[in-house]
Amino acid sequence: MDEKRTNNSNNDYSAENIQVLEGLEAVRKRPAMFIGDLSVKGLHHLVHEVVDNSIDEALVGYCKNIEIIINKDGSITIKDDGRGIPTDYHEKEKKSALEVVMTVLHAGGKFDKESYKVSGGLHGVGVSCVNALSSYLRAEVHRDGKIHVQEYQYGKPTSEVKITGETNRTGTEITFEPDNSIFSTTDFNYEILAARLRELAFLNKGINLSIIDERESAENGNGENDTNFRNDHFYSKKGLKEFVEFLDATREKLIENTIYIDTIKNEVPVEIALQYNTSFSENVHSYVNNISTIEGGTHLAGFRRGLTRTLKSYAEKSGMTAKLKFDISGDDFREGLTAIISIKVQEPQFEGQTKTKLGNSEVIGAVDQAVSTYLSSFLEENPRDAKIIVQKIILAATARHAARKARELVQRKTVLSGSGLPGKLADCADTDPANCEIYLVEGDSAGGTAKQGRDRQFQAILPLRGKILNVEKAMEHKILENEEIKNMFMALGVSIGTEEDSKALNMEGLRYHKIIIMTDADVDGSHITTLIMTFFFRYMQDLIKNGNLYIATPPLYLIKKGKTQQYCWSEVERVKVVKEFGQGKESSVNIQRYKGLGEMNAEQLWETTMNPEKRTLRQVTIESAAEADRIFSMLMGDEVPPRREFIEKHAKYANIDA
């Protein structure tokens, strides 16, 4: 793939390649239309958009190094060593091409097929969208031996493009501060950015990507900050093959070698890596032009079709399925499968609610052919691995058959019991799902307090007994037979499994649009939250994608001094309040640490955690499906060292509860 990228002889990238489609004003008026979200997700999409421009330079062979710097003042810088944005005069717009790119929506070289064969980014919105939503932006271009600089405020230039010096390199450097009057937060999350860079390194082998956070540095022995900033460097030599191995690091492999496909079919570059493991879940992640297509699309359909047909044909020819008394479904061929599908197309067409579903019809056949051709050869040349895969498929089919019986039993019990609601559920009076919310509460004690404290009109309570089943380690029929999980399905009004897809979620009967996990603010509570989130991620992922799942945030402390009291949700907040209350003397001050919801009375629970006017709910989102898959597998799997390392790094209660 590297050779194909670097053999691009068209280095004539100048102002005449920049084509203008429309103006910029709408971005600041309706920002959510352009980036979809004005909280954490939208904020980080700004960075992704700038980085994707650098990646596009890499795809045509002109960029090898990309760096993100989170600056000490909270702004962010993205550097690359590409050709640099053109700075010469743009005849149509009567200004520098750099200013055109930075200030006009849908202006850029990506619309000129000779400049970029493929491109990613936010579906063509461009870096001008980033500029429009920034209170300050500085563009520095190293090109033609000169350093060109222009600065902007709220998308408008504050000066002409200036030459500030000479240079012996090429590239673009963008520094920006997101507009805090538009975004609910402007605090960049290191993990989100690092995960995206790691993903891009796997998707684009041979490119160096690095990140450094100058807000965080280690303390040296003198109690002063040194320059040992938090940083990571990502580079992949084998691309998707290493990506799959990274995702499956905490799973037990079924076959030794990862199956890898890198080819061009019908002028569509197709790169696929896949591996079977002993788990019971399917983990297939698809990308087009480096964009994660979490809703799938034609490339995923082509992959599934090619995989199913090829494996089914081999299994039948081998005679291994002759004694089966029921059909093998498409799901059975993908149980325990981890796969990455990455394709590049000139003009991707996106469908679906979140514009992350590929619609190009020509892609189905291309991916189908690539999988069929290579997989057929692999199975013939590796009979031992082929036998292991087919045995896994037969086991999956047998388990699915048992799971269907368990599912039918749950549905039959629901019909026979009349209302079909679990006995522990305290339902709400309102019957409009859009107005209703349900709390999944840890234990009967806390459940009782929540029932007393809630607003019965729109808040329902479902107590869960202890820690629910770890779905990462259980077969589907065991999961569906679990009492607490059955109660969740029944209370929510959703069902799993259709004729076409045995794992599809039917949400037509969804009874609550807000599903809120409410557990104790301690280590056990966090474990229960993780178990519930793992269940939703593996079996009710559509509810996460639709924004239905939330986590409640009960306070950690109640600080009292005389008749004055204040709740605190963090250790930092506790220290601050204690200092304010007691002038640094913790002994004129009473500190109560809440470890369990049951330690609060009904009024306190309502006031701090359930009252919509005062509470803080954290919405569960999937920024990167592949990263979420890896983390859930690592947290809920059998490998202890990676889990310990992760918990030590992200521990919330370790110091408080020691």
For the chain, the structural domain boundaries read: 2-216, 240-399, 417-552
Q: Which CATH architecture has domain 2-216?
A: 2-Layer Sandwich (3.30)
Q: Is 599 a catalytic residue?
A: no
Q: List the single range of 112-126, 399-413, 506-520 with lowest mean pLDDT.
A: 112-126
Which listed residue (177, 245, 262, 524) is catalytic?
524
* pLDDT exceeds 60 at position 540: yes
Q: Is 648 a catalytic residue?
A: no
Cα Rg, the chain, nearest whole Å: 27
Q: β-strands 65-70, 76-80: how paired?
A: antiparallel
Q: What is the DSSP letter of 469?
A: P
Cα–Cα distance for residue pair 62/170, rounded to 1 Å = 10
Give the tens place of pLDDT for each residue, 322-338.
Answer: 888 888 888 899 999 99
Which listed residue (56, 520, 623, 627) is catalytic?
520
* pLDDT exceeds 50 at position 589: yes
Cα–Cα distance for residue pair 429/432, rounded to 1 Å = 9
One fold for 2-216 and 417-552? no
- State the amino acid at position 327 in one-letter form: D
User: Within 13 Å, how many C-alpha atoms sit on residue 429's CB side?
Assistant: 4
Which listed residue (52, 248, 442, 484) is catalytic?
442
Average pLDDT over residues 161-183: 95
Q: Of 299, 307, 237, 301, which Cα lies nearest the Cα of 268?
A: 299
**CA 290 → CA 123, 344, 351, distances in Å?**
11, 8, 17
CATH topology of domain 417-552: Rossmann fold (3.40.50)
- Per-residue pLDDT at 585: 54
Average pLDDT over residues 229-257: 93
- Per-residue pLDDT at 11: 64
- Per-residue pLDDT at 227: 62
The predicted model scores a pTM of: 0.77
Q: Is 520 a catalytic residue?
A: yes
- Per-residue pLDDT at 413: 55
| C-alpha dihedral (234, 239, 242, 244), degrees to nearest 10 | 120
Q: Of 334, 453, 317, which Cα lies nearest the Cα of 392?
A: 334
Q: List the single range of 52-56, 407-411, 482-486, 625-629 with lowest mean pLDDT.
A: 407-411
Cα–Cα distance for residue pair 485/469, rounded to 1 Å = 8
Q: Is 522 a catalytic residue?
A: yes
Give the tens place of pLDDT for each residue, 85-109.
Answer: 999 988 887 889 999 899 887 665 5
Average pLDDT over residues 586-597: 81
What residues contact 471, with CB distance under 8 A and at least 6 apart? 479, 485, 531, 534, 535, 538, 539, 636
Q: What CATH number labels 240-399?
A: 3.30.230.10
Q: What is the DSSP letter of 130?
A: H
Average pLDDT over residues 468-496: 86
Question: Taking the CB of residue 614, how many other CB atoms lie within 10 A of it?
Answer: 11
Question: Taking the CB of residue 279, how many other CB atoms lie within 10 A of it?
Answer: 21
Q: β-strands 337-343, 283-288: how paired?
A: parallel
| Exposure string over 525-556, b if 16+ CB within 10 A, otherwise e | bbebbbbbbbbbbbbbbbbbbeebbbbbbbbb
Average pLDDT over residues 283-296: 91
Which listed residue (57, 173, 522, 599) is catalytic?
522
DSSP string, 431-459: --GGG-EEEEEESHHHHHHHHHHS-TTTE
pLDDT mean across residues, the chain? 85
Tokens of 442: 């840890």
